[in-house]
Structure 1
């Protein structure tokens, strides 16, 4: 009897299941939609930012500034400056003529045009009224270059060099020798074992630019992410979102959306910078720097994801927008440590720091740029940074889920960790 009843019940269950073929399909569709919720959240984060006039204007202005700085740099590097130098006597006039002849050999960006004035007073007035750039006069101790303001460094260098050469030649002639004999053994040639001085200067400047770009992008997008989280929490919108999708999906969408924006903006800035640099005297280094810039973008991507998790947690711990300043203070201090550590660490400390996350996200690309590392070092540092980011994601996800729906006031990390979901 019991067996018959069980069989009947099983048959009825089978019949009901067959009669409602859409039951399982709807559940599967619901689970699939929930699993893909992060994509919708990420898309919303990106679209909201791309329709924000402030964000678009700041991006365009930054791109224009980068282009303008590089355009000015290229113009100044290719521009020849002409200086009008006046004299009041034949001796000084002969010296200025020699300066004009030698100037292109000393500095091809400097040209000197000679002029004459009737007397010292007229020469002084010409310089004061900016009709002439300088007045060269002979004195008892040598020569004086008179200018209205601080003398141009390029002009001063050319004048000093020619005056020194002329004086040495005259003195050598009086001593019955030659200038070449007097100067024998006095030449000092600078030799750099790694690279050259021009490239080293460029590398130093780019390292600083990488550090400041990482810092500014992390602060700007991080604060935006934290503000977004706390605004949804304060307005109770997050409670409705939590009823529709898992909170980990919400967190993933926010982090991915802001990462896409930050990385896209950074790639744009770097691309504009490289194109602009190609029109300057540094253009010959662009091809060689492309690999280093690729490492910078890779470290930026992973490092930003790790820090974005912390910014999301800072927003979840706050109960009001005003609380963000205190909940994000540890992150701000970490960013300052990363920035100044990258700039001022040197020697062994610099080498060790380039492997320690998250400082490595700034420091290792700088070392790659400077040519201080073997091929395996950035790869290892990136793997360590990825492992750090994964661990941080797991920890942040737990704190985020437990703190986001708590509205009783600002939470500490310890309280959020212990709070029951």
Structure 2
């Protein structure tokens, strides 16, 4: 820089420090111009909304159960079972089909003409007949109906009302937190978080690694290195792909919440939306570390075929997080929610089912941020030392031993 004015030197340094924005913008533009990327994103959004709508329609559809009955009170029992099911908001409708005798009931059930059969039993009561396996809804409501009908007649015979007979036995359900998420829905949310993490990490991470190794294999990186610091090149690639991953993930989560609201799950939407927001924040911080490691995987390789080897440790880490998000429960999931990277899935899942206190995500996110900073620093050093090496595939230890 001999002969240059100090002001020109300062402007040159400032310019080189901001060149990462150009790299990031290029990464974003190239991806947005990729028809496969755009189409796959749109298809995924449509699939998310459609699957939730279909699930809502299927779950809200009334299940019609044919019950073949015999005896003078068979039809009355089935009618009362319908009333009990309606009072419990159960999506089930029983249709009584009277026949002459018990033998006909057994025949129709055995031939799978109906799902259940109801016949009088001696010395009293009823027998509910099924073929192969019982229908739990039929067992629940028809049994309750038969018991209530018997109590009503016994009460009349004793000269008391059914209300008097049942005095002191009423149980009134009280829900303390109406916004609490159904356990089954919370499990589904945890699975969605795990798979979204996996898809975004692999899709954008592999894109970074392939971009790095292609530039290295085609010797383009030598031209880029003469025009900008390698640190700026890394920052641009990581920043551009992180923005894309964040935007796509937010789009998927938004589509899922919209689909959930459309299915009538609005009462549970608040907590799920909060957990989804935390998931996006955790992913944003954690992906900075993952993106840096994917760039390292590309810099250690000298050709595309080497990526299978250099990216194996990172692929295994992502699979571990995926399986942890799916299978971990109890204390194991609590521990995982504080371990950086695995906490991307574990902590939002705990927030979804209400097992995490309000302060826990802040502590977990702070640990993630510290770990991300350390990973990025080490990854940047390996990236700069290995990117210009074209003699053959390197290991991380070999890259760290190289002179800058």
TM-score (norm 2): 0.83
State the shift of 1:193 in Å.
Answer: 8.3
Answering whether residue 221 of structure 2 is matched by residue 234 of structure 1, we say: no
State the shift of 1:398 in Å.
Answer: 0.9
Q: Tell me how far apart the structure 2 counterparts of residues 183 and 170 of structure 1 sit (CA, whole Å).
A: 13
Answering whether residue 30 of structure 2 is matched by residue 72 of structure 1, we say: no
What does residue 56 of structure 1 align with?
38
Answering whether residue 79 of structure 2 is matched by residue 81 of structure 1, we say: no
State the shift of 1:352 in Å.
Answer: 4.1
Moved more, 311-320 or 360-369: 360-369
User: What pairs with 1:311-350 in structure 2 (closer than 5 Å)?
Assistant: 311-345=294-328, 349-350=332-333
Q: What SS class does the counterpart of residue 411 from structure 1 fall into? A: coil
String of CA shifts for 1:364-414, please: whole Å, max 9, x gaps: 223333434444332222222112111111111110111111111110101
What does residue 361 of structure 1 align with?
344
String of CA shifts for 1:224-275, please: whole Å, max 9, x gaps: 2212211221222222222222111111111111111111111111111112
Of 13, 17, 41, which residue of structure 2 is paired with 1:35?
A: 17
Alpha-carbon spacing, 1:378–1:94, altered in 2? closer, same or farther (3 Å): closer
Q: What SS class does the counterpart of residue 220 from structure 1 fall into? A: helix
Answering whether residue 143 of structure 2 is matched by residue 160 of structure 1, we say: yes
What does residue 6 of structure 1 align with?
none
What does residue 279 of structure 2 align with?
296
State the shift of 1:67 in Å.
Answer: 0.8
Answering whether residue 236 of structure 2 is matched by residue 253 of structure 1, we say: yes
* Unaligned stretches of 5+ residues in structure 2: none
State the shift of 1:187 in Å.
Answer: 8.0
Alpha-carbon spacing, 1:223–1:150, altered in 2? closer, same or farther (3 Å): farther
Q: Of the two, which has the highest radius of gyration?
A: 1
The answer (yes or no) to whether the contact 1:124–1:135 under 8 Å persists in 2 is: no
Moved more, 113-122 or 40-49: 113-122
Q: Tell me how far apart the structure 1 counterparts of residues 274 and 74 of structure 2 sit (CA, whole Å).
A: 54
The answer (yes or no) to whether the contact 2:109–2:129 under 8 Å persists in 1 is: no
The answer (yes or no) to whether the contact 1:86–1:123 under 8 Å persists in 2 is: no
Q: What SS class does the counterpart of residue 278 from structure 1 fall into? A: helix
The answer (yes or no) to whether the contact 1:84–1:115 under 8 Å persists in 2 is: yes
The answer (yes or no) to whether the contact 1:127–1:135 under 8 Å persists in 2 is: no
Alpha-carbon spacing, 1:197–1:184, altered in 2? closer, same or farther (3 Å): farther
Structure with more helix by fraction: 1
Alpha-carbon spacing, 1:311–1:210, altered in 2? closer, same or farther (3 Å): same
Q: Tell me how far apart the structure 2 counterparts of residues 175 and 24 of structure 1 sit (CA, whole Å).
A: 108
Of 84, 93, 108, which residue of structure 1 is paired with 2:75?
A: 93
TM-score (norm 1): 0.80
State the shift of 1:117 in Å.
Answer: 5.1
Of 388, 391, 397, which residue of structure 1 is paired with 2:374?
A: 391
String of CA shifts for 1:270-313, please: whole Å, max 9, x gaps: 11111222233421122344333322211110011111111111
String of CA shifts for 1:203-227, please: whole Å, max 9, x gaps: 3332332223222221222122212
What does residue 244 of structure 1 align with?
227
Alpha-carbon spacing, 1:180–1:58, altered in 2? closer, same or farther (3 Å): same
RMSD of the TM alignment (CA)?
3.7
Alpha-carbon spacing, 1:113–1:370, altered in 2? closer, same or farther (3 Å): closer
Answering whether residue 22 of structure 2 is matched by residue 45 of structure 1, we say: no
Q: Tell me how far apart the structure 1 counterparts of residues 345 and 403 of structure 2 sit (CA, whole Å).
A: 37
Q: Tell me how far apart the structure 2 counterparts of residues 348 and 126 of structure 1 sit (CA, whole Å).
A: 47
Moved more, 33-42 or 164-173: 164-173
Of 126, 135, 138, which residue of structure 2 is paired with 1:142?
A: 126
Q: What SS class does the counterpart of residue 115 from structure 1 fall into? A: strand
The answer (yes or no) to whether the contact 2:77–2:142 under 8 Å persists in 1 is: no
What is the number of residues matched between the two proteins? 399
Moved more, 48-57 or 305-314: 48-57
Q: Tell me how far apart the structure 1 counterparts of residues 193 and 274 of structure 2 sit (CA, whole Å).
A: 14
